[in-house]
Structure 1
Amino acid sequence: MNRITWVDNLRGLSILAIIFLHSTIAVHNNAGHFTLISNTMNEMLAPVRLGLMFFVSGLFVDVGLKKGLGPFINNKIKSILYPFIVWVAIYGGLKIVFSSMANTPQSPLNIILSHLTGGGDMTWFLHSLFIFFLMILVARKLPFYVVFLVCMFASWALPAIKPDSIFASFDNSHINKSFYLFVFFYLGDYVVRKQIDLAERVKKTSVIGLSLASFALLSCLNLFIVQGAPEAFLSPLALLSVPFFVWIAAHLSSRIVYYIGTHSIVFYLSHYLAIQVFSKLVKFESASPWMNDIKFIAAFLAALALPWTICLMRSRGWLNFLFTLKKSAKPLQEKAV
């Protein structure tokens, strides 16, 4: 079996965008000389950053179902539900142990329930992804416009979880966000079912031109006009922006991005541990923008170093139990775009 390079590149770019965002959070948005560019990039990428991850995941629905419904679900239990449980124990356990140091202390019951219902730090992605792989069994039988309209209405209309609820979390609108992101997941599956070769389609000037214009308009609206507006209102432009990022991934030649993409679950789940430790240990404030530059770069490098170290350990047969119940497979051959 071969790996398709642009798919892993796209996944790697999405993970890097998430790490970049969390690195700015680690330094309380004071990234020195990088502050303006980091704030601008994070705002521009907000409507598509996580959507691209779900889009890539959707690309693998069809090939999984061809093996049969039983093996399909069993695979998702081993590769998604299992690491979800493991990392709920890790993040939830650490939050309980160090609750006295948290900015917003929570009871142990509140922490456990928020994680198990998809509101936990980092683990919410696996929670939503597992549900998406079940939802798609029905949704893929429906026209795109029906799925889009239902999900966007739900994303916009559903009330957020009340802050005083025992299910409250760091993001009480995570259910709304999941409906918004499911359309990206559906789109990935749709592309494969319709046998659309995206890598070829984005070579067309009309396709890439429309997608680039959509992302430019989306960025302008998000930055200057409709700040704070529900994501559902911007979703058509966000979906039209996907081919532009596929084009970038198809033309990108970066071993680092590709490596992160092929080890995406490790980088996604573990980098935030480094971010949390860094933000707790490096608390000193400085008026010097140069010192803040160093803090931001150090946070970013720390968030890459921990997952990279874990990947090296996994290559030697260690720590694989943290991410999957499946046995280690032989490295897949890279397939050119």
Structure 2
Amino acid sequence: MSRAHGALDRSSSRLGWMDTLRGLSILLVILHHSTQIVTAPFADDPNPPAVLEPFIFLSEFFAPFRMPMLMFLSGLLISGSLKRTAGQYVWGKLRRILWPIIVWTAVFNLALIAGGGSLPGMPWEWAFWNTYLWFMQFVLVYYLVALLTKWVPAWAFILLGFVGMFLLPDDTLIQRLFYLMPFFFLGAFIERFWDRFVAAINVPVAIALTAIPLALGLASAFWVPLWYEPFAAVPGLLGILALARVAVYIPDAGWLRPVRFVGQYSLIFYVVHYPAYAAIFNIAERVGVTHPAVVLPVVFLVTLAVSTGFALIGRRLPFSLLFELPRRMWPKRAAA
């Protein structure tokens, strides 16, 4: 079996190339948010500090791919989960996705209060849950909908996503839900036909097709930022397929181990980074560290350090309860 044909075989180890792509995407998310909070004071300035321009460029260049790639990778290995019973499948998603949503929504809102703010709403109101965790909320919805792929083909949900993204109002959360849906279900679809996909698109063709994400990124950076823009969805899908086809040859090199680590613990990095970078930026302001050339790297690197610390302890009780519930909530009954 060639490396490409066996790229989704998890029988012996984790898939390093997927961890690398996931890790890079998470790092870009953290860099984007670090850039966002540092550039916010200059939002109305026609000439923001030049030192910020490379970071703004990177943020806008990768806008069409950061979250879509994470969604694609989330859908890419779903068939193994669907082999479980419906109860086991749903419980797995509730304890590993819904639970950290609940925990870190509470953390986020408590941080708002501690910072002198007020709650945006009560727990029974949507405003309470309308936080940076929208990504995980979407993933949970897609995983639950994916139960239907036992009877409904994945491509039907790709089409449904396109219908929704064009018909629903722009720049709304519900439109974003439908925009990202095709990326998740493209992963589910490609998984089932992976060998055909690999055979149909050889490496030279895939490398040539990477011109698509390159062009899309440049358009986003120099023309208009393509944040969940429906007309960018098709080239975005094609670009992600090309990147995935090439990425299976990413070596398991030692220098990529930190990136793979981030990918392996992507959920922890995602839920921790947002309150971490906001707190770090506020601390920097209070101690007088305000120059963008200093504060942006500090926010990014310290956020990474804090998130890494949580990742290192996050699989051990009791810290693991911040990120997932135990597989079994109560011990087995002893046989009579």
> So what's the TM-score if we normalise by structure 1?
0.80
Within 2, Cα distance between the matches of 1:99 and 1:146? 47
The aligned residue for residue 21 of structure 2 is 10
SS of structure 1 residue aligned to 2:14: strand
Within 1, Cα distance between the matches of 2:265 and 2:226? 33
Deviations 1:238-284 (A, max 9, x none): 01111343324642530110010111111111011221112212224
Q: Is this contact kept in 2: 1:153–1:232, CA < 8 A?
A: no
Within 2, Cα distance between the matches of 1:58 and 1:180? 15
Deviations 1:87-131 (A, max 9, x none): 11111222244353xxxx664339952243xx212x212211111
Within 2, Cα distance between the matches of 1:306 and 1:277? 11
Letter in 2 for 1:22: H
The aligned residue for residue 313 of structure 2 is 313
Question: Using a 3 Å threshold, how does the CA distance of structure 1 residues 107 and 41 change in structure 2: closer, same or farther?
Answer: closer
The aligned residue for residue 237 of structure 2 is 239
Question: Using a 3 Å threshold, how does the CA distance of structure 1 residues 130 and 145 change in structure 2: closer, same or farther?
Answer: closer
The aligned residue for residue 189 of structure 1 is 188
Within 2, Cα distance between the matches of 1:182 and 1:199? 23
The aligned residue for residue 333 of structure 2 is none
Deviations 1:138-173 (A, max 9, x none): 35755566433431232233236xxxxxxxxxxx62
The aligned residue for residue 325 of structure 1 is 325
Letter in 1 for 2:73: V
Within 2, Cα distance between the matches of 1:158 and 1:184? 18
Letter in 2 for 1:3: R
Counterpart check, 1:25 vs 2:51? no
Matches within 5 A, 1:43-62: 43-62=60-79
Counterpart check, 1:271 vs 2:276? no
Q: Is this contact kept in 1: 2:164–2:178, CA < 8 A?
A: yes
Identity %: 26
The aligned residue for residue 88 of structure 2 is 71
Within 1, Cα distance between the matches of 2:203 and 2:237? 18
Letter in 1 for 2:126: L
Q: Is this contact kept in 2: 1:78–1:325, CA < 8 A?
A: yes
Letter in 2 for 1:54: M
Letter in 2 for 1:9: T
Q: Is this contact kept in 1: 2:25–2:70, CA < 8 A?
A: yes
The aligned residue for residue 101 of structure 2 is 84
Counterpart check, 1:205 vs 2:215? no
Across the two proteins, how many residue pairs are aligned to each other? 305
SS of structure 2 residue aligned to 1:108: coil
Question: Using a 3 Å threshold, how does the CA distance of structure 1 residues 301 and 276 change in structure 2: closer, same or farther?
Answer: same
Counterpart check, 1:38 vs 2:51? no
Please report how far the alpha carbon of residue 208 of structure 1 lies from its aligned counterpart in structure 2 after TM superposition.
2.5
Letter in 2 for 1:296: L
Letter in 2 for 1:269: V
Letter in 2 for 1:152: F
Within 2, Cα distance between the matches of 1:190 and 1:259? 27
Within 2, Cα distance between the matches of 1:12 and 1:265? 10
Q: Which consecutive unaligned segments of at least 5 residues does structure 1 have?
A: 161-171, 329-337
Matches within 5 A, 1:100-115: 100=117, 107-109=120-122, 113-115=126-128
The aligned residue for residue 260 of structure 1 is 262
Within 2, Cα distance between the matches of 1:249 and 1:34? 35
Q: Is this contact kept in 2: 1:26–1:299, CA < 8 A?
A: no
- Could you tell me which of 125, 144, 161 is aligned with 1:151? 161
Within 2, Cα distance between the matches of 1:295 and 1:151? 39
Please report how far the alpha carbon of residue 17 of structure 1 lies from its aligned counterpart in structure 2 after TM superposition.
0.6
The aligned residue for residue 164 of structure 1 is none
Question: Using a 3 Å threshold, how does the CA distance of structure 1 residues 76 and 229 change in structure 2: closer, same or farther?
Answer: closer
